[in-house]
Structure 1
Amino acid sequence: MVRDYNNRHALDQKLRGTPKPANADHLEVGHWQAIATVLASVGLEAAVERALSSTPDLSLRYCGPGEWLVVSGVDTPLGLMRRLDMLCGTQAHVVDQSDGRVLMRLSGPSARQILAKGIGVDLHPSAFALGGSTNVLCGHIAVNLSRIGEDVFELIVSRSFAESLFEDLMTMGRPFDLSAAFSD
């Protein structure tokens, strides 16, 4: 028996249909994003971080000592893997996470208030600086949270938890009229 497996986004069912205009507070879901995990070899963490930071079109998300998520808005997953292999060589292990992770971008004047309903991290600008990232729980779901703009946060979640996180964020954002759509 031949089975046809269609590659579809984890949130296709939730975001299907005509996109609505974005409200002031908006949740944008990356349709297909190139994401990789980079694990530095012992003793080479600083060298790997310098190499990754030297490329301006790569977004580096701290996960733990010697471990980062790298997000590219310009590369395909294969292209990102090639670039990271050239940058890191044998100094780090690189694992493609593009099919296994979903990136969501929450923006708007109430973004901090929405996230504060489910995240136990101080999101005030003096405590969570622009460009900062950390692994946190949003409710019961593990996410990598980063602040990429004044009122803009990105959440990277495992594909299997994307629908639950999406529903939680929409519930937390209901009082603020949170809208959602796929990114272009």
Structure 2
Amino acid sequence: MVHQYADRHTLEGLVPADVSAGADHLAVAARQAIVVVLAAPGQEAAVAHLLASDEDLSARFSAPGEWLVISGLQTPELLHQALAALLGDMAHCIDQSHGRVLLRLTGLNARAILAKGAGLDLHPSAFSVGQSANVLCGHISVNLARVGDDAFEIVVMRSFADTLLHDLRDMGRAFDLTTAFLA
């Protein structure tokens, strides 16, 4: 028996496709290439240097010797191949695009919204643009990255994405947070 599987986003049906972004907005990336890079023992510094030196890569620290590399331009396969070619035997690359969801929270109240659920000091002097950290948002483990003055990206495991979406909407209700798929 042959099964036909529909390629659908885990948040499809929960997020409107065509909502105008408000002052505070939560955008859900429909297609995102996400690769986990694990440095080989003793290669952490070399891998970190190579990831930081490539301006086309968005590498977020995840743990000692571990990074999430994200691309909205490349397919998961191409990103994986590019990282494997760049890093060679210095690291292992694992495509996680199918198992993780990226959310982008923007607006003047983004820090205040996240402060309701994330146990992390989000003040610019403590968490600057370009930094990332694994934190709990509510009760869900996420990788949180500050990508702009009033912009954060959240990477969550696919199975927790709907719960996190509901939590973020609740946290942003006082600020009239809008939600839509990323254009």
Scaled by the length of structure 1, the TM-score of the pair is: 0.97
Residue number in structure 1 paired with 2:126: 127
Question: What value does the CA root-mean-square deviation take over the aligned residues?
Answer: 0.9
Residue number in structure 1 paired with 2:172: 173
Residue number in structure 1 paired with 2:8: 8
- 2:11 and 2:87 mapped to 1: Cα distance? 33
C-alpha deviation, 1:73, in angstroms? 2.0
C-alpha deviation, 1:20, in angstroms? 1.4
SS at match of 1:115: helix
Contact 2:59 2:69 in 1 (8 A): yes
Letter in 2 for 1:121: L
- 2:45 and 2:171 mapped to 1: Cα distance? 38
C-alpha deviation, 1:3, in angstroms? 2.5
Unaligned runs of 5+ in 2: none
SS at match of 1:173: helix
Is structure 2 residue 41 aligned with structure 1 residue 39?
Answer: no
Q: Deviations over 1:62-106 (max 9, x none)?
A: 011100000012210000011000110000010001111100000
Q: Which runs of 4+ in 1 moved over 3 A?
A: none
- 2:27 and 2:11 mapped to 1: Cα distance? 11
Contact 1:61 1:70 in 2 (8 A): yes
C-alpha deviation, 1:52, in angstroms? 1.0
Scaled by the length of structure 2, the TM-score of the pair is: 0.98
- 1:143 and 1:167 mapped to 2: Cα distance? 15
Letter in 2 for 1:9: H
Unaligned runs of 5+ in 1: none
C-alpha deviation, 1:13, in angstroms? 1.3
- Matched pairs, number: 183
Output aligned runs, 1:66-77, within 5 Å. 66-77=65-76
Letter in 1 for 2:168: L
Contact 2:31 2:72 in 1 (8 A): no
